[in-house]
Amino acid sequence: MRFLLVFYSSATHEWRILDTASLPVSCLSGLPRVLQHEQDVMLRWLLGCYEVLELTTPPVTEGDSDFVGEYAEVYSLATQVSMVPTDGEYRGPWLEILRETQSPAATLRLRKACVACSDAGLRLLNLRVKRPFDVSNDACRATAARLTDWQNLKVAQDRRFACARDNPKALTDWTDKA
C-alpha cells in the first residue's frame, strides 16, 4: 500500500507532504509503527520532533469534538501514481486539488515530543557556553572578525545619526565630502 501524509506546519506556515512509497508500509494499521522507526524521515517531513499517538479511522476532521492537537491527514494512493511533487517542487495547487477531490482514509494524531539530553550532552553544552569562540578554529576567528566589523560599523552609523539629529547641517557637510 502507498499513502500520502499531509501535515500543516505552523512553524513554516506551509503544507508538508510525505509519500510513503519508499517506506516499508504494508497496510494502513502498520503506518504508525513504521513512522516511529523512521525518525529521520519524520524530522524531515514534520520539521520537528513528533511522536505518533494514534491512527484514527474514520478520519477526524476539524468539526469533530475529538479534533484536539495536531493531526496529519492520510490519503490512499495508487501504487503507480508518479505525480506526487518532490521536496523541491511547489505543491500548493496540486495539494489543493487532491484535498478537494479525495477524502482522507485516516488521520494520524501527533504530539510534539520533548527531546531529552543526556548528562554528557549537557556537560558538553555547558562547556560550549563557557567558551563560545575557539580561537584556534579559522571559522570562529572569521565569525568573530565579522561581528567586530559589524559592531564598529554600527557604532559609526549611530554616531553619524546622533550628530545629524543634533546638528542637521553636519549631515549635509558629511555628504558633500563623501
Segment 123-164, tens digit of pLDDT: 776 776 676 666 777 777 777 788 788 888 888 888 877 777
Q: Mean per-residue pLDDT for 87-96? A: 71
pLDDT-above-90 percentage for the chain: 6
Q: Examine the domain organization and report whether 80 and 139 are in the same domain.
A: no
Residue 112, Cβ density class (10 Å: 0-12 exposed, 13-18 middle, ≥19 buried): exposed
In terms of domains, do 146 and 91 share one? Answer: no
Asked whether residue 57 carries a pLDDT value surpassing 60, the answer given is yes
Alpha-carbon span 36 to 34, nearest angstrom: 5
Q: Say if residue 84 is in the same domain as residue 148.
A: no
Q: What is the residue range of 22's domain?
A: 2-112
pLDDT at position 74 is 92
Q: Is the pLDDT of residue 173 over 70?
A: no
Percent with pLDDT over 70 in the chain: 72
Judgement on whether residues 25 and 97 belong to the same structural domain of the protein: yes
Q: What band does 63 get if pLDDT is binned at 50, 70 and 90? A: low
Element (H, E) at 56: strand 50-56
The whole-number average pLDDT for the span 36-64 is 79
